Amino acid sequence: MGMNRKQQTDTKETSVSIFRNRQFLLIFVIAFFVYMSSTMLNLTLPKYANDLGATAQAVGLLAGMFQIAALSMRPISGQIVDNENRLTMLRIVLFVVLLSAIGFAASGNYWLLVTFRVVHGLAWGVGSTLFLTIASSCVPSEKMTAGIGIYGLGQVFAQTIAPVFALPIAIKFGYNTLYIGNVLLISLCIVLTLFMTMDHTKKEKRTYSYNLKNMIHLPAMLPATMTAVNAIAKSSVRAFLVIFAASMNIVDIGIFFTIQAITISVTRPILSKLADRYGLQNVLIPCQVFMVGGLIIVSYSSSLAMFLVAAVVLGIGTSGEQPILMSECVSSASIEERGKASNTSYVGVDVGGFIGSNLAGIAVAYVGYRYMYRFFAIPVVVFTIVYIIIHYRRTRREALNKVSRKTIS
């Protein structure tokens, strides 16, 4: 049975109450615009670089440099978010993103794209952690999962809308025209921060350390590692699908990303209900299976229709695994350490994205697109099995400890 009428009413009231929070609404809109900007770049930069004469390895490097730049900021990004004035940092991050957007609009060769992609990655390394932390700080603890789910939908909407116009505008009016629009979008985000207010207590002593304990929240490592493995697979789709489709003269492949995002927005509420009823792990594991299936279908696709089937399958997988793993990371920490926990989740994204995009570029050069996608399904299968084993042992150990405490008392 599904949720009863009272549960449905409570869910709607939760969503409404969250959006009545002005701070949450503003960071939701800002993150939406920034993710839409990022989706435009993820979708068009590989093809732009390819059109400029870049090889498959160079295209992979372009995507990988973004991830490695973001990753280079992860050791201190959680500490920055937890120590500094978050509103000030938000404006600084958006300003740096704006500089990179201006750079993309003015670029006309591959190495300039790489340079500004690195600048963008440096800002993203702090910004992604900062957005999630600000959003989570606006939501009461008892509504955390719902709040993160709603925040995540902004990313989904961005990924739904951007592919509709990004490639068509780039093809018809040129990539630089599209990137000028990107500049205007980020400028609007900076304006929106003028309507935000955040409490900040200046710390008497702020220390920054590259000690692993200050960079990584250890209880979040298991879901973060799964996030990394999934990101390896997803980065191969993001970096090379447009080029792969173009090699078969499929020009409307942008709709793949729209269909995938629509699938996520439709199935995520359903999967959330199933997770509430049957448990997070019982939803996560089937979603991993869907991700593997989607990669396999992509590898065999030779028409737009087959690619769209893959988009639906991958969309179902992503709609479940992404919020569940992110929620597990954030929920594993106290309020004071949520910046570090959020950071740990994004470390997984960056590490996976860097490995995936570069490894995909090498694989394409040696075995082609189809076998590359099949190869990338293997680590998802392997670590899903590892995850099940570790999680089962941890749950069993916690249950035994609980029984022991009751027996002693």
Query: How does pLDDT run across 62-84, given as a tens digit for each residue?
Result: 988 888 898 888 778 877 887 88
Residue-level pLDDT at 403? 67
Does position 179 have pLDDT exceeding 80, yes or no? Answer: yes
287: confidence class by pLDDT, cuts 50, 70, 90:
very high
Q: Is 291 helix (H, G, I), strand (E, B) or coil?
A: helix
Q: Is residue 227 a contact partner of residue 345, using CB atoms and an 8 Å limit?
A: yes
Which of 44-53, 311-320, 364-373, 386-395 has the least mean pLDDT? 386-395
User: Helix, strand, coil: what percent of the chain each, to 5?
Assistant: 85, 0, 15
Burial of 213 (0-12, 13-18, 19+ CB in 10 A): exposed
Q: Crossing angle of helices 56-83/221-246, nearest 10°?
A: 150
The phi, psi pair for 139, rounded to 5°, reads: -115, 135
In angstroms, the CA 327 to CA 336 distance is 16
Arithmetic mean of pLDDT, 243-266: 88
CA dist list (Å): 34 to 16, 31, 46, 135: 23, 5, 19, 14
C-beta separation of 102 from 183 below 8 A:
yes
Locate 373 and state its tokens.
């996608």
Q: By mean pLDDT, which of 9-18, 214-223, 294-303 is the weakest?
A: 9-18
Q: How far apart, in Å, are the Cα atoms of 224 and each of 105, 133, 324, 360, 384?
A: 34, 16, 11, 21, 13
Q: 177-186, 267-276, 302-311, 328-337 — which is least confidently predicted?
A: 328-337
Q: Report residue 11's pLDDT band, with 50, 70 and 90 as the boundaries.
A: very low
Judged against a pLDDT cut of 90, whether residue 167 lies above it is answered with no
Task: Return the DSSP state at 204.
Answer: S
| pLDDT level of residue 304 (50, 70, 90 thresholds) | very high
The alpha helices in 84-202, defined as continuous H runs, are 86-106, 110-137, 144-173, 175-192
Lowest mean pLDDT among 119-133, 166-180, 222-236, 346-360: 346-360
End-to-end, the C-alpha distance of the chain in Å comes to: 38
Per-residue pLDDT, 230: 93
Q: In the predicted model, what is the mean pLDDT of residues 258-267?
A: 87
Looking at the chain, the whole-number percentage of residues with pLDDT higher than 70 is: 86
Q: Cα–Cα distance between 311 and 158 in angstroms, integer?
A: 16
pLDDT at 40 over 60: yes
Angle between helices 22-51 and 110-137 (to 10 degrees): 160
Give the whole-angstrom CA distance, residue 67 versus residue 117.
9
Average pLDDT over residues 219-228: 87
Query: What pLDDT is stored for residue 7 in this prediction?
Result: 46
Long-range CB pairs of 250-255 (<8 Å, 24+ gap) are: 250/303, 250/304, 250/307, 251/171, 252/304, 253/167, 253/304, 253/307, 254/43, 254/163, 254/164, 254/166, 254/167, 254/168, 255/163, 255/164, 255/304, 255/308
- Within 8 A by CB and 6+ apart from 336, the residues are 82
Please check the confidence at residue 145 and state whether its pLDDT lies above 70: no
* Structure confidence at residue 6 (pLDDT): 47
- pLDDT at position 64 is 84
- Please list, in sequence order, all residues whose beta carbon lies within 8 angstroms of the beta carbon of residue 404, skipping any fewer than 6 positions away: none
Backbone phi, psi, residue 248, to 5°: -110, 15
Mean pLDDT of the 45-71 span: 88
Least confident of 102-116, 138-152, 188-202, 303-317: 138-152
Band of residue 9 on the pLDDT scale cut at 50, 70, 90: very low
- The mean pLDDT of the chain is 84
Question: How many Å is the Cα radius of gyration of the chain?
Answer: 21
Give the model's confidence band at 220: pLDDT under 50 very low, under 70 low, under 90 confident, else very high.
confident
Residues 151, 31 contacting (CB under 8 angstroms): yes
